[in-house]
Structures are given as structure tokens and as C-alpha cells.
Amino acid sequence: MFHDAGNGQIGATDGRARPRRFELREVSVERAGRLVLDDVSATLPGGSVAVFGPSGAGKSTLLRLLNRLLEPSRGAVLYEGRDLREIDPLELRRRVALVPQLPALEPATVADNLRLGQRFAAVGRWLRWGRQVGATGADAAGADRDALAKLLASVGLGPEYLARQAERLSVGEQQRVMIARALALDPEVLLLDEPTAALDADSRRQVEQTLTRLRRERGIALVLVSHDRQQVARLCEWVVELDRGKLVAAGSCSEVLGRVGG
Ligand SMILES: Nc1ncnc2c1ncn2[C@@H]1O[C@H](COP(=O)(O)OP(=O)(O)OP(=O)(O)O)[C@@H](O)[C@H]1O
């Protein structure tokens, strides 16, 4: 069943195709006595959204508000119509999973890094349903090579990567493992902070293809911080543009970045 999400976007009311909409209402964030976000009101309608702007604009700050790694000093952030303060932070961080900036993997095998994601997911299940996570829970799941290989496959990496040391992978491979680790949470939304900043052109293309596939095939919504106009145009349908903590524009990619490619 489809409905108008109230913002011109058409989305399904149930399942993976839901719009995954965030709303910022008069949000300010003060850090070290300075306003790094200043009275920002904007809708992020779901699908693939870019938070775009120059260095220091407040992009990462905005991203971290979306799963409560940071709280607004004033104003409110809503997800699917609910104030984030009403949602348990662990539950929220499972549904809205952050892929942090590199390097963020543990100096361990890829399999062990993926198990960390699975354990966090298991704790979330336990909190939700009060189920004991025992030998048949997180540990068994963590030992499930097939499940780990499946996570890797969803980012285009083969099972031979499971035994590799994470810190010896290329940065592009590390980035894809980080996305796979976040996917262990079975999230509705992936938050990505400059996911290709440290990557060469080939690796960047692979990560972008991975994200496009996750969006198209699994309906995972993306919120992506980027200062790369061309990348935003390639990946995102909606753009929230910031500069020095202020909202500059919010709208469809063509509305906000109309000059791309020109
Ligand atoms: N923990 C902090 N304490 C004080 N100021 C901070 C803190 N974190 C960020 N800032 C400041 O807030 C402003 C916005 O930072 P933020 O990282 O959100 O910007 P950004 O747009 O993501 O920049 P970049 O593209 O360079 O990563 C910057 O001026 C930064 O110095």
C-alpha cells in the first residue's frame, strides 16, 4: 500500500520500502560555547539523502544527531514521526546504524569485526524481547561462517576475506567491511560519514556501487555526509546543504545542485 509521505514523496507504508523520514525542528547544537548548528529545520524524506557542504559546515554534527550520538542543545529530531528521545538509544542505533569515518575497525580478523556487529544486534534483540543471549544466541550466531560470508557478499567481498586481518586491508576494503558490520544490525537506515574520502577512484566506485545496491535491492535508506558535489549527484535523491552551521537549502538533488555536471 502506498501513500503520499506528505512531502511530495511517494512511499510504501510498510516493510522495507517505508520512507525512513527524519525531521529536524529548530535544531541548534552548541559545542565549546559555539553554535555549530544554528536553528536548522529540515526534512530528510528517506531514500538517499546527502548532507552536503564545505568543511566545518556541521555535516558530521547533523549526522550524529540522527542516532543520538549527539543531542541537540535546542529543538527536536524526529524519526518516522517520533521524537528520538522517546526511542531507546540502543534500539535506535540498531535501526539507524552509523558507519563511522575510517579507520574504525578493530585490529583483528574481518570475521571478528563482523561478530562485533552481530553481538550488538543480539544485545538489541535481548533488550527488545527479554530473551537470554546464550550459547545458542550471540556466540552461535557469531560462529556462523555462512552468516558472516553473507554479510561480506552484500558488500561485494568473498568469504576468503573472513580470515584476513582488518588493519591490513586496503582502505576501500576496510570501508566495505565497516558497511558489512553495520549491516549485521539489519538496519533501516545507514548513516555514512564521508564514506569515500580516503579512497582512490576504483575503491570509491566499488563503495558507491555497494551503497546503490543496498538502497535498490534491500530498501535501506542512506544518509550520507559528503562535500563532493559529483558524488552527491551520483548517489542521492535529496540534499540538505549546510554552511557554517546554517541551513542553506533542502530539496531534491536537481533543485539544490542544479549546476552539477555543468
Ligand atoms: N567536540 C567538539 N567540540 C568543539 N567543537 C566541535 C566539536 N566537534 C565539532 N566541532 C566544531 O563544529 C563545527 C562543525 O563540525 P563538523 O565536524 O560537524 O563539520 P563538518 O561539516 O562535518 O566538517 P568536515 O567536512 O571538515 O568533517 C566545526 O567548526 C568543528 O570544529
Q: Is 56 in the pocket of ligand 1 (CB under 6 A)?
A: yes
Nearest to 64 by CA among 92, 104, 38: 92
The model carries a pTM of 0.85
Please tell me the distance between residue 57's alpha carbon and the centre of ligand 1 in angstroms: 7
What are the domain boundaries of the chain?
A: 2-256
What is this model's ipTM? Answer: 0.95
Q: CB within 8 A of 5, min separation 6: which ones? A: 11, 19, 21, 45, 46
Q: Is 55 in the pocket of ligand 1 (CB under 6 A)?
A: yes
For the domain made up of 2-256, the CATH class stated in words is alpha beta
Q: Is 118 in the pocket of ligand 1 (CB under 6 A)?
A: no
**pLDDT tens series, the chain, 262 aa:** 333 333 333 333 344 456 799 999 999 999 999 999 999 999 999 999 999 999 999 999 999 999 999 999 999 999 999 999 999 998 999 999 999 887 789 999 999 999 988 877 766 565 555 544 444 555 554 457 888 999 999 999 999 999 999 999 999 999 999 999 999 999 999 999 999 988 899 999 999 999 999 999 999 999 999 989 999 999 999 999 999 999 999 999 999 998 554 4
Nearest to 99 by CA among 14, 22, 18, 176: 176
Q: Which of 35, 55, 60 to mutate to test the pocket of ligand 1 (most atoms within 8 A of CB)?
A: 60
- Dig out the grid coordinates for 225 from the structure: 555526509
